[in-house]
Amino acid sequence: MTLVPLPVPAGPPDDVPPYETWEGQALVLAGAGAAGRRAAAWVRSLPPPPLPVPVGAWLAGELPAAIETAMGSLDPEECDCMAPDGRAVEGTGGVDVATMSTLTAVPVVVAEAGWLDPDQQARLLAAASAVTGAVRLIAQDPGTAIPHGLLARLCAVLDHAARPDGPARTPAGTR
C-alpha cells in the first residue's frame, strides 16, 4: 500500500479559512451543556454505598464532574482535521484526555457499585455512553451532529438515562 500525503496548501500556515458556525450551533451546544448538568445532578443524587469505598467517592465526585465538563466543553472547532504536513489529526471535540478517561472507566467501575440496583447501573452506563458518543460525534462530524439534530438526540438519550429514579415515563396514550 502506498501512502501519498495531500499537498500542503499554498500560502502561509495561518492562511486557513475562518471557522464558520452552523445555524443554531450556540443553542444546540447550550442544550448539551444543560443536559450534562442535569445528568451530573442525577449521578450525584444516587445513593451512597453502605460503607465508604473508593468507587462511592468516585461516583459522587469525579464522574459527575466529568459528565458536566464534557457536555459543557463540546467544541466543533476541535474536530478531526488535516495538519499542514498532510497528516490526519484526531479531534478532541473540546474535551481533555483526563475527562474522557474518567468517562471510559464507567463500564469497569459500575460493576463495583453493587449497592446500586441494576436499573441505576444500566442508566449510568447509558449516560456515560451518550456523553462519550456526543464528544466523538462533535470531534468526527460536527457538520452533521449540529444541523441535523444528532447531538440533540444524544442529549435526549442522556436526559432519559439521567431521569429521576423511578419507572420510566412514557407519553400519555402510549405503552
Per residue of the chain (175 residues), give pLDDT as tens. 555 555 555 555 555 556 678 788 899 999 999 999 999 999 999 999 999 999 999 999 999 999 999 999 999 999 888 888 888 889 899 999 999 999 999 999 999 999 999 999 999 999 999 999 999 999 999 988 999 999 999 999 999 999 987 655 444 444 4
Q: Exposed/middle/buried for 158, CB within 10 Å: 0-12, 13-18, 19+?
A: buried
CA-to-CA distance for 44 and 15, rounded, in angstroms?
46
Locate 56 and state its grid cell.
462511592
pLDDT at 87: 87
Task: Give the SS3 label for residue 88.
Answer: strand
pLDDT at site 175: 44
User: What's the pLDDT score for residue 15?
Assistant: 54
Containing 153, the helix (H) or strand (E) segment is: helix 150-161
Which pLDDT value is given to residue 174?
Answer: 45
Nearest to 131 by CA among 33, 60, 41, 45: 33
SS3 percent helix, strand, coil of the chain, rounded to 5, is 55, 0, 45
Ramachandran sector of residue 16 (left: φ over 0; alpha: ψ -120 to 50; beta: rest): beta
Residue carrying C-alpha cell 453502605: 50
